[in-house]
Chains A and B, each alone.
Chain A
Amino acid sequence: MTEEAILQGCLKNHAAAQKELYNRYSPKMLAVCYRFAHNREDAEDMLQEGFIKVFLQIHTFQSKGAFEGWIRRIIVHTCINHLKKNKRFNESVDIIQASAIQVREENIPSIVQAKQIVDCIRLLPIGYRTVLNLYAIEGYAHKEIAGMLDIEESTSRSQYTRARQMLEDILIKRNLIPAAREKTDRLTAIH
């Protein structure tokens, strides 16, 4: 079934087309949710909520952009709204406490590389992780992130800097990036 046919079917509320769209994009979108969520269950809740929005708002999609990108934006916003309901998340994005956070080595999994990277991201505190996800992977600007999370733009920048630093440490510990290069880069950066 072509994307156009799926879109037309979804506009007519046809279950088969909806299922097709869901089958096509849900694995990627669940991975997106999983990077934001605390656990798989939360991720599935986000995905469910997100896809309901997708189907309900599908008439607003204009064929100018990529369909997947449009779905992804809805899913990401759903994740953010889901996280914002959590008090712990609201506290964590406002407080900068990078140095105080210890990453527990035994929590770091060792599986295939893509999953390893995602699991390393998931080891970050929720506030850092959210900003890193939005900036580095989803491509939002700090100004947009500030608007989405109701924080200052400067807070978003500093959160990201610390998140990135922490992630680098984790990746080096897991030998996912070479330590020597990282050190060289840091020295270069300092000088």
Chain B
Amino acid sequence: MKERFLYEGELEKQLKEKADQFKMYPSDKVWNEVYSSLHTRRRRFVAGMSVLIGSILILAGSQLIFPSRPVPGKITAAGVNGSKQAVTTDLPSFAAGDLVNIHSANSTDAKTSADNRAVNSPYILSAAPAGNLDNAGHFAENLLEKNINTTHVRSGQPDNLSIPVPLVSSPVDAAEVHETTASIQNIAEVNSVSAELAPEKSAAQLTHLRNDRFSWEIYFTPTLNTHYLTGLNYQTMAQSIQSSPIMLVNVSNVNGFVDNTPVLGYNVGSNILYNLSRNISLKAGLEFSFNRYYIKAYNSGSSQTSVALNSYFGYVSNPVNSVPGAGAGTDKNPQQYQNRYYQLSLPVGAEMKVAGNGSVQLHLGASLQPSYLLNTDAYVLSNDYKGYTKDAQAFRRWNLNAGAEAYISYGVGNIRWELGPQVRYQIFSTYKNSYPLKENMLNYGIRIGISKTIR
């Protein structure tokens, strides 16, 4: 038993020794999950921003799909025996008694209209004459019972009344009309009424002008994403070559070692525009962008590689585990991997109308976009350009993009459709300064937008 015990101890010792020697390298997914669990503040920020963007897009969409209506006012059609029977319309309140068969400047003559059984002038408000209460009562009943159509009259029509006046089209008895026309005031009086209303027109127009300064805009831009790698070439490395772990055989332009193919991504966003003048407007908003591109790599086993990092003492080699199946080697059967970036930006810029005043206009715009990298699913090139690896720490979270666009807009009512090319360039490198390679993204695409004036 004693020997057996010794052997037993020896076995355990060997088992422990061998088991402790054994190491396995976890996939990057494990660290990413650990990291995201620990840094929930970042997740909350992402969730909060997503809710914010969603709300803005929903609000903008609802503004475009269900345009807001003006607050209805009241217009009293007739006053009978001191009691008022009101016909409400979408107009500011004023007493109908003050307006008696008001004709606009281009309306038909009152006497001519009396010959017609139906009075169908687009700018006539028919109401009971103030001095004839019997007729007025009867007329008011007619107004209500005969289902008089009241419609809006669009402001801005030539020769219109000074405020929007509802159209009253009623098949009134010719005699009644004649009787009524007998008591109507003459055109001069009508004009004087118009003149009295003129200040209201000015106020309304001013209000409109003031409100017209703001507009909503939402847009979607399918983009092609390309990227440019710089750094680690012979020229830039000449001074620090001695301390560099990069293989000398590869000290040339990095773009020669990678095969990058642009892929379709997209930007989606919403802006609020403020018209500084007729032609220039400022804009600010939120934009979500999804950028990606393919990298071609060659199958190889998972292996240890390293990512060079800048430090005060030259380059420091950071050993990492290369992703199984990825490697920028020279195998005959390259595999395609995708580098994906999810960014949230706050574009601030200006737009200028360069041509067109009517429904078709040409605009130029530019913006600067402070951006936050929400997430990545991207590979980083190793020192020797022979492998790709994932290293979430290598990416710069905050960046700055510059955008420029030209688009043609077509206006229908207060909605404008926009279409035109857009370019977006990432000013700072995708990677942190400690990573010697610099990557600048360039996206170009066709912007499809829709904007609506806020009133």
Q: Which residues of chain A have a CB within 8 Å of any CB of chain B? A: 13, 15-16, 18-19, 22, 26-28, 30-31, 34-35, 40, 43-44, 47-48, 51-52, 55-56, 113-115, 117-118, 121, 135-137, 139, 164, 167-168, 177, 181, 185-186, 188-189
Tell me how far the C-beta of B164 lies from the nearest C-beta in chain A, rounded to whole angstroms: 62
B contact residues around A22 at 8 Å (CB): 31, 34
User: By the criterion CB–CB under 8 Å, are B34 and A118 in contact?
Assistant: no
A contact residues around B1 at 8 Å (CB): 189
User: By the criterion CB–CB under 8 Å, are A136 and B26 in contact?
Assistant: no
7 cross-chain pairs, A with B, having the tightest CB-CB distances, nearest first: A189-B4, A27-B23, A117-B18, A114-B21, A30-B24, A188-B3, A114-B22
A contact residues around B29 at 8 Å (CB): 44
Q: Is B247 interfacial (CB-CB < 8 Å)?
A: no
User: By the criterion CB–CB under 8 Å, are B38 and A52 in contact?
Assistant: yes
User: Quick check: which of B5-13, B69-77, B152-160 contacts chain A, the rest being far away?
Assistant: B5-13
26 contacts between A and B (CB under 8 A): A13-B38, A13-B39, A15-B39, A18-B38, A27-B25, A27-B26, A31-B22, A31-B24, A35-B19, A43-B24, A44-B26, A44-B27, A56-B38, A114-B18, A117-B14, A117-B18, A117-B22, A118-B19, A121-B15, A136-B16, A181-B7, A185-B7, A186-B4, A188-B4, A189-B1, A189-B3
Q: Is B35 interfacial (CB-CB < 8 Å)?
A: yes
A contact residues around B21 at 8 Å (CB): 114
User: By the criterion CB–CB under 8 Å, are A121 and B26 in contact?
Assistant: no
Q: Is B20 interfacial (CB-CB < 8 Å)?
A: yes
User: By the criterion CB–CB under 8 Å, are A118 and B8 in contact?
Assistant: no
B contact residues around A55 at 8 Å (CB): 34, 38
A contact residues around B27 at 8 Å (CB): 44
A contact residues around B31 at 8 Å (CB): 19, 22, 26
A contact residues around B8 at 8 Å (CB): 164
Tell me how far the C-beta of A9 lies from the nearest C-beta in chain B, rounded to whole angstroms: 12
Which of A13, A48, A118, A136 is within 8 Å of B12, CB to CB?
A: A136
B contact residues around A27 at 8 Å (CB): 23-26
User: By the criterion CB–CB under 8 Å, are B26 and A117 in contact?
Assistant: no
User: By the criterion CB–CB under 8 Å, are A44 and B38 in contact?
Assistant: no
Q: B23-55 vs A: 1/0 string, CB under 8 Å?
A: 111110111011101110000000000000000
Within 8 A of A (CB), among B227-262: none
Tell me how far the C-beta of A62 lies from the nearest C-beta in chain B, rounded to whole angstroms: 22
Known: A15-B393, A118-B18. A47 touches B30 (CB 8 A): yes
User: By the criterion CB–CB under 8 Å, are B3 and A136 in contact?
Assistant: no
Q: How far is the CA of A118 from the CA of B399 in the complex (A)?
A: 47
Tell me how far the C-beta of B314 lies from the nearest C-beta in chain A, rounded to whole angstroms: 18
Which of B7, B16, B26, B39 is within 8 Å of A30, CB to CB?
A: B26
Q: How far is the CA of A121 from the CA of B14 in the complex (A)?
A: 13
Tell me how far the C-beta of A92 lies from the nearest C-beta in chain B, rounded to whole angstroms: 20
Q: How far is the CA of A52 from the CA of B19 in the complex (A)?
A: 24
Q: How far is the CA of A84 from the CA of B105 in the complex (A)?
A: 91
Q: How far is the CA of A175 from the CA of B65 in the complex (A)?
A: 77
B contact residues around A30 at 8 Å (CB): 23-26
Q: How far is the CA of A16 from the CA of B4 in the complex (A)?
A: 50
Which of B11, B19, B20, B30 is within 8 Å of A48, CB to CB?
A: B30
Q: How far is the CA of A113 from the CA of B20 in the complex (A)?
A: 12
Known: A28-B23, A114-B21, A114-B22. A51 touches B34 (CB 8 A): yes
Q: How far is the CA of A19 from the CA of B11 in the complex (A)?
A: 36
User: By the criterion CB–CB under 8 Å, are A168 and B26 in contact?
Assistant: no
User: By the criterion CB–CB under 8 Å, are A114 and B37 in contact?
Assistant: no
Q: How far is the CA of A188 from the CA of B6 in the complex (A)?
A: 11
* Minimum CB distance partner of B23 in chain A: A27
Which of A15, A16, A121, A177 is within 8 Å of B19, CB to CB?
A: A121
* Minimum CB distance partner of B38 in chain A: A55
User: By the criterion CB–CB under 8 Å, are A16 and B22 in contact?
Assistant: no
Tell me how far the C-beta of A108 lies from the nearest C-beta in chain B, rounded to whole angstroms: 15
Q: How far is the CA of A84 from the CA of B439 in the complex (A)?
A: 47
B contact residues around A164 at 8 Å (CB): 8, 11
Q: How far is the CA of A40 from the CA of B27 in the complex (A)?
A: 10
Q: How far is the CA of A157 from the CA of B283 in the complex (A)?
A: 75
User: By the criterion CB–CB under 8 Å, are B3 and A44 in contact?
Assistant: no
B contact residues around A185 at 8 Å (CB): 3-4, 7
Q: How far is the CA of A48 from the CA of B36 in the complex (A)?
A: 11
Q: How far is the CA of A16 from the CA of B434 in the complex (A)?
A: 13
Q: How far is the CA of A18 from the CA of B38 in the complex (A)?
A: 10
A contact residues around B14 at 8 Å (CB): 117
Q: How far is the CA of A28 from the CA of B19 in the complex (A)?
A: 9
B contact residues around A135 at 8 Å (CB): 12
User: By the criterion CB–CB under 8 Å, are B20 and A136 in contact?
Assistant: no
User: By the criterion CB–CB under 8 Å, are A26 and B19 in contact?
Assistant: no
Tell me how far the C-beta of A11 lies from the nearest C-beta in chain B, rounded to whole angstroms: 13
Q: How far is the CA of A35 from the CA of B14 in the complex (A)?
A: 15
Q: How far is the CA of A189 from the CA of B8 in the complex (A)?
A: 11
* Minimum CB distance partner of B15 in chain A: A136
Known: A44-B26, A44-B27, A55-B38. A114 touches B4 (CB 8 A): no
B contact residues around A34 at 8 Å (CB): 22, 24
A contact residues around B38 at 8 Å (CB): 13, 15, 18, 52, 55-56
Which of B11, B24, B33 is within 8 Å of A168, CB to CB?
A: B11
Q: How far is the CA of A168 from the CA of B11 in the complex (A)?
A: 9
Q: How far is the CA of A31 from the CA of B21 in the complex (A)?
A: 9
Within 8 A of A (CB), among B67-92: none
User: By the criterion CB–CB under 8 Å, are B15 and A19 in contact?
Assistant: no
Tell me how far the C-beta of A93 lies from the nearest C-beta in chain B, rounded to whole angstroms: 19
B contact residues around A43 at 8 Å (CB): 24
